Every structure is written in C-alpha cells, then in structure tokens.
C-alpha cells in the first residue's frame, strides 16, 4: 500500500548484492498508469510481491500490468 499523498518516485522495490544496491524501482516505473491504483479505506493498493517462481525469478503482481518477473541477480525486469 502507498499513502494517499504518494509520490511517483517513491521506491517500491530494491535489489541488493552483498550490501550493494543493484537496482531500485519506483512506483511510477512499476505502475504504468497511476490512475489505476486501487483506493482502500486509507491508502492506495499498487500490487504485491508474490515470491520466487520455479525459474528463480522474483514475481510482483502490479495493478494494471499483471505479473512482472525480475532477475534478482541484476534487479532487471525480465518480462
């Protein structure tokens, strides 16, 4: 969840290796259309981390985009 006064540049997802930041993803980079955020009683729902799939990719379910897959070794979006 993000606050009602969210900023698109707020970091939502970060990948680290041995304490070094590999890559960060902002709310605006993850959610293509911020107008699709879903209002809850006190916040906006943007999505959630699903976990690792059988290929070792980290899955994140994002409002308006479906499931995104990230390579945790690089922090890059795979598909």
Q: Which of 14, 43, 12, 40 shows the shortest CA–CA distance to 26?
A: 12
What's the CA gap between 24 and 21, in Å, rounded? 8
Q: What is the pLDDT of residues 3-44, one digit of tens each?
A: 999 999 999 999 999 999 999 999 999 999 999 999 999 999
**Hey, what are 48's tokens?**
């959630």
Say yes or no to pLDDT of 52 above 80: yes
Q: What is the mean pLDDT of residues 52-64?
A: 97
Tell me how crowded residue 54 is: count the other CB atoms within 10 A of its CB: 5
Task: Give the CA angle between residues 76, 24, 35 to the nearest 5°.
Answer: 95
Q: Which of 13, 75, 58, 6 shows the shortest CA–CA distance to 34?
A: 6
Can you give the pLDDT at residue 72? 97
Can you give the pLDDT at residue 79? 74
pTM assigned to the model: 0.91
């Amino acid at each position: 969840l993000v606050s009602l006064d969210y900023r698109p540049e707020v970091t939502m997802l970060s990948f680290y290796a041995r304490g070094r930041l590999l890559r960060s993803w902002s709310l605006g980079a993850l959610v293509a259309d911020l107008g699709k955020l879903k209002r809850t009683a006190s916040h906006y729902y943007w999505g959630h981390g699903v976990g690792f799939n059988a290929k070792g990719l980290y899955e994140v379910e994002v409002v308006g985009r479906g499931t995104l897959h990230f390579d945790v070794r690089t922090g890059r979006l795979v598909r």
